[in-house]
């Protein structure tokens, strides 16, 4: 089984489109865990209506106070039952063949811990972005070419210690893939645009681009054994003069678990 974890913060208006793309999958052995990360919109009521509307499917809700996307994804995965996990943001969607092709890759190649693909913009843009073939050195030092919506083994998440909650301002996916690769869970590309990423005028990713150097410095400090003393010292200097948005990490919140029967 695949557990599709859908964190949502003020994205209730997109939830049905997102969930419908999962329901449309040719691969049918999945569950959905919606994580409402303390939204002040109608996310919870919309999620409950969708659970009732699609009551033939395994859809559940985790309702929690706001503490950021890393904590939201970790909370959803903690409540998941699948061997494989796909994190899908509530405003995005996936191609009907994504789960079929990614599960086949992980099922047939034990050396692969992360199955990823190319991606297609929709909304304010329709560009297609080809990813790169897996190269661990490029991932460590140049750029993150693995989309956040990629299928990974739950055992890899456990081994990596989950998403690091100190990556509150962005680049949390890059940090997460590096943590997995350190533990021997490597990636493999499916060269097809199976993931659809919504482009909007505003968003956290746009904001994180302004702080790329500071955020990568935090990645370096999260994995000092990879980057060495010289890079670690340079990262410390960068973060000493950081101008990042507030990154206060609140205690992990208590989740209220709502089953598909509620």
Structure tokens at 122: 């929709």
pLDDT score of 147: 97
CB 255, CB 75: distance < 8 Å: yes
**Tell me: the pLDDT tens digits for 38-66?**
999 999 999 999 999 999 999 999 999 99
Name which CATH class applies to 2-209. alpha beta
The answer, as to whether pTM is greater than 0.85, is yes
In the chain, pLDDT over 90 holds for what percent of residues?
83
CB 106, CB 116: distance < 8 Å: no
pLDDT score of 125: 81
Examine the pLDDT at 186 and tell me if it is beyond 60.
yes
**Tell me: the pLDDT tens digits for 125-140?**
889 999 999 999 999 9
- Which of 94 and 246 is assigned the larger pLDDT? 94
**Tell me: the pLDDT tens digits for 187-215?**
999 999 999 999 987 655 655 677 889 99
pLDDT score of 123: 85
**Tell me: the pLDDT tens digits for 223-256?**
999 999 999 999 999 998 766 654 444 444 445 5
CB 72, CB 148: distance < 8 Å: no
Per DSSP bridges, beta strands 256-258 and 2-8 are unpaired
Distance from C-alpha of 84 to C-alpha of 100, rounded to nearest angstrom: 12
- Read off the pLDDT of each residue in 111-117 and give the average, rounded to a whole number: 98
Instruction: Return the domain boundaries, the chain.
Output: 2-209, 210-245
């Amino acid at each position: 089984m695949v557990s599709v974890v859908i964190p949502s913060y003020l994205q209730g208006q997109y939830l049905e489109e997102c969930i419908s793309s999962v329901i449309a999958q040719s691969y049918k052995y999945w569950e959905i865990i919606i994580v409402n990360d303390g939204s002040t919109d109608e996310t919870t009521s919309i999620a409950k209506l969708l659970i009732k509307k699609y009551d033939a499917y395994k859809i559940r809700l985790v309702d929690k106070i706001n503490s950021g996307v890393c904590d939201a994804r970790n909370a959803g995965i903690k409540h998941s039952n699948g061997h494989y996990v796909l994190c899908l943001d509530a405003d995005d969607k996936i191609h009907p063949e994504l789960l079929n092709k990614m599960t086949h890759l992980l099922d047939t190649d034990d050396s692969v811990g992360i199955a990823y693909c190319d991606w297609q913009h929709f909304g304010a843009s329709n560009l297609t972005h080809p990813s790169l073939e897996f190269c661990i050195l490029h991932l460590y030092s140049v750029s993150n070419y693995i989309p956040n919506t990629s299928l990974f083994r739950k055992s890899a998440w456990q081994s990596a210690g989950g998403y690091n909650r100190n990556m509150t301002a962005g680049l949390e996916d890059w940090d997460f893939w590096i943590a997995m690769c350190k533990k021997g869970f490597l990636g493999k590309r499916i060269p097809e645009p199976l993931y659809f990423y919504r482009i909007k005028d505003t968003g956290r990713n746009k904001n994180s681009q302004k702080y790329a150097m500071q955020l990568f410095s935090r990645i370096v400090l999260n994995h000092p054994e990879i980057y060495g003393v010289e890079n670690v010292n340079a990262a410390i200097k960068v973060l000493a003069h950081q101008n990042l948005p507030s990154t206060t990490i609140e205690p992990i919140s208590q989740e209220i678990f709502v089953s598909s029967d509620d």
